[in-house]
Amino acid sequence: MRIIRTVSVWSLLITTPLFASPLQEQNKVIAKRAFEELLSQGRYELAEQLYSKDFVNHGIHRDVGLEEDQGALKGWHQAFPDVVIVPEKLIAEGDLVTIYWIARGTNTGTGNGLPATGKKAELAGITIWRIVDNKIKEEWSAFDQLSMMQQLGLLPANK
């Protein structure tokens, strides 16, 4: 019995990677750069460097390409000119990187259908990117839109 336990622990150590691969670490660097420089700072010129030409953002109801995706990002920057999107946690596995992020900003402009409310908002989201050949090729994202609308006074808050 004791030998079986030792073998089981040993086989677990052998088959479980103790460190992320160089590719996974590189993919996390790309993801962090995209969040800090493009999404947060609005350096749209970096999109060609960071995203694949055939990028697809898989939405709930439909998929969009890079041009429409970047248009939506510009809309968020118009609505929240001071937006900062911080990648809090990055987890890489294979060619996927999952980012838990927090966005903070003041809604002083109009964009993406939002009126300017002058109110601050803070929301969390999760983005999964598939990175191939050092470029973001696919995206799946979800964020707390209900909370954002409540913070902006556009929907009643839960009581």
pLDDT of residue 7: 46
Terminal Cα-to-Cα distance of the chain (whole angstroms) = 57
Q: How many CB atoms lie within 10 A of CB 149?
A: 16
Structure-block tokens of residue 113: 């259908």
> How confident is the model over 121-139, as pLDDT tens digits?
999 999 999 999 999 999 9
Q: Which residue has the higher pLDDT, 20 or 66?
A: 66
Q: Which CATH class is domain 21-151?
A: alpha beta
Q: Is the confidence at residue 29, as pLDDT, over 80?
A: yes
Calculate the dihedral angle through the C-alpha atoms of 150, 85, 66, 54, rounding to the nearest 10 degrees: -130
Other beta carbons within 10 Å of 54 = 11
Q: What is the pLDDT of residue 157?
A: 85
Reduced to 3 states, what is the DSSP secondary structure of residue 93?
A: strand
**DSSP states of 90-138 as a string?**
EEEETTEEEEEEEEEEE--S-BTTBPP---EEEEEEEEEEEEETTEEEE
Q: What is the pLDDT of residues 58-90, one digit of tens each?
A: 999 999 999 999 999 999 999 999 999 999 999
Which residues, in sequence order, are bridge partners of residue 95? none
pLDDT at residue 8 above 60?
no
Kindly list the domain boundaries of the chain, sorted by start residue. Answer: 21-151
- 3-state class of 87 per DSSP? strand
Q: How many residues does the chain have?
A: 159
Structure tokens at 136: 């973001």
